[in-house]
A = this chain, B = another copy of it.
Amino acid sequence: MTKPLLGFIFLCVTACVSQAPVNSQTEASPTQSSIVKRFTLVAQHTTLTIDEGVIHKGFTFNGTSPAPLLLVNEGDNVEITVKNIDTVTHGLSIHAANTQTALKVANLPAGDTKTLTFKADVPGVYMYHCAPGGHGIMTHTMGGMFGMMVVEPKKKFALEEELGRVPDIKVYLAQHETYSNGRDFFDGKPLYVSFNGYNFRYVNEPIVARPGDYIRFYYLNVGPNLTSTFHAVGGIWNYSYPQGNPANKMMGGQSVLTGPSDSFVIDWQVPAAGPFLFVSHALGTQAAKGAVGIISAKDNAQRPSVISSVGLTLPLPTQPKRIVDPFGIGSPDIDRAVHFHAGDPVYVQMVGNSFSPKIVEIPVGTNVTWVNEDVFDVLEGERSGKHSIAVTQGAEIFASPVLLHADKFNVTLSKPGTYEYICPLHPYMKGRIKVY
């Protein structure tokens, strides 16, 4: 995706008409029947382009982040099959299901497939996300495994009921955060915040509408951490519905407030021609980091009826200018080496399934202490925040015992060279020591 020069968007009424591509292979295909709607979600490692020249190494369902948009009607029976083609345990938490799910689709080992059926009996805009169990729920969701499911209500929204209209454009919009390491994940400091998988996606490719159109936003704040206020510049909502349930109607308003896993249905009539920004109004922590888009309204424009929340599958750059790898080691400007000098105490945390700092440079003879800051230390493997370290390459090969929360391990490194190490319980967790 190339970035067009955008100055003209603000200066002319003639709107861009190109539309962000939707990769149909990433759409789940429900099989409509009187009995059941079926979806398949495939858990896997995936590397995605999330800004120009910027790639992210994480986990996905079906190769995109956000994952497939699951659309059903209130009262539908739903069958979701989760296939794990990855090398680690995955699972599913699906907020639209009011039933026991943990026993059915959590804790899905590598190679396994499980199926959940449920009746979608409460309308709303819901999050779903990976849920291997325990600690892995947090880290896998952070790693990119999330999507939107909408249960359309039987009861009508006010737009249909009172105004006799239907939405001209349905915009399924998921806001989500990207982290470059587990420490920032624990601190709530994302590197990026995006709508539908790419920074400023709908600035690059505005959503085309006509003046007078009713846009229905199905807005989901995926988080996993921050609270958002969704707002349109030049817009006051007509109606908004917390959690997307028509029983909870609010009138007017410049913004809707959502925490992670909260959602809204918003109906808004585009009041005029021209560009309308939509943003998370948390300007520094969110909007400036990617959470801005544009509605571009023009008389008689060709416009889409649906904008899908599914993320993009763009070609990977051959020479990425930035690699974001929350668990492993990314680009040196974001995963900076910390250079220690004689006398400095050297601690490395295990936190959010990453090491912090990921790279340390230390003088010969320095004692290094690892401390496990992950708190959820029950269960095993992917489902636990237990950690250990094992040097896989270096002048000396050593390993720690398994560390529970707040346990420490320390070693004095007396041979120069570069040491690569992992957590054997989460082998994608990578660290490096340079002994100088």
In the complex, identify which listed stretch (A23-31, A48-56, A308-316, A420-428) lies at the interface while the others stay far away: A48-56
Q: Are A406 and B243 in contact (CB under 8 A)?
A: no
Q: Which residue of B has the minimal Cβ distance to A12?
A: B103
Pick the contact of A103 from B271, B274, B377 — CB < 8 Å? B274
Binary B-proximity of A1-31 (CB < 8 A = 1, otherwise 0): 0011111001101000000000000000000
Residue picked from A245, A254, A369, A383, most chain B C-beta under 10 Å: A254
Q: Which residues 271-305 of A sit at the B interface, judged by CB distance below 8 A?
A: 271-277, 281-285, 287-290, 292, 297
Q: Which residue of B has the minimal Cβ distance to A137?
A: B283
Q: Which residue of B has the minimal Cβ distance to A131?
A: B233
Pick the contact of A229 from B234, B260, B287, B322 — CB < 8 Å? B260
A385 contacts the other chain (Cβ, under 8 Å)?
A: yes
- When distances are taken between beta carbons in the complex, the residues of chain B under 8 Å from A88 are none
- When distances are taken between beta carbons in the complex, the residues of chain B under 8 Å from A252 are 122-124, 243, 245, 247-248
Q: Are B134 and A333 in contact (CB under 8 A)?
A: no
In the complex, identify which listed stretch (A37-45, A92-100, A162-170, A411-419) lies at the interface while the others stay far away: A92-100
Binary B-proximity of A358-381 (CB < 8 A = 1, otherwise 0): 000100000001010011111110
Shortest beta-carbon distance, A339 to chain B, in Å? 5
With known contacts A258-B257, A284-B142, A343-B339, A5–B375 Cβ distance under 8 A: no
Q: Are B369 and A288 in contact (CB under 8 A)?
A: no
- When distances are taken between beta carbons in the complex, the residues of chain B under 8 Å from A243 are 250, 252-255
Q: Are B141 and A283 in contact (CB under 8 A)?
A: yes
Q: How many residues of A contact B (CB 8 A)?
A: 128
- When distances are taken between beta carbons in the complex, the residues of chain B under 8 Å from A436 are 343
Pick the contact of A11 from B54, B107, B321 — CB < 8 Å? B107
Pick the contact of A285 from B52, B188, B297 — CB < 8 Å? B188
- When distances are taken between beta carbons in the complex, the residues of chain B under 8 Å from A292 are 134, 376
Q: Are B283 and A53 in contact (CB under 8 A)?
A: no
Q: Are B10 and A107 in contact (CB under 8 A)?
A: yes
- When distances are taken between beta carbons in the complex, the residues of chain B under 8 Å from A337 are 345
A46 contacts the other chain (Cβ, under 8 Å)?
A: no
- When distances are taken between beta carbons in the complex, the residues of chain B under 8 Å from A98 are 234-236, 271
A254 to B375, CA, bound (A): 25
Which residues of A are at the interface with B, using a C-beta cutoff of 8 A?
3-7, 10-11, 13, 51-54, 93, 95-103, 106-107, 122-124, 126-127, 131, 133-135, 137-139, 141-142, 179, 182, 185-189, 192, 199-200, 203-204, 223-225, 227-229, 231, 233-236, 242-243, 245, 247-248, 250-255, 257-263, 271-277, 281-285, 287-290, 292, 297, 321-322, 332-333, 336-337, 339, 341, 343-345, 347, 352, 361, 369, 371, 374-380, 383, 385, 404-408, 436
The contact sample of 11 A-B pairs, CB cut-off 8 A, is: A52-B404, A95-B231, A103-B275, A122-B236, A122-B252, A138-B284, A186-B289, A199-B375, A225-B284, A245-B252, A255-B261
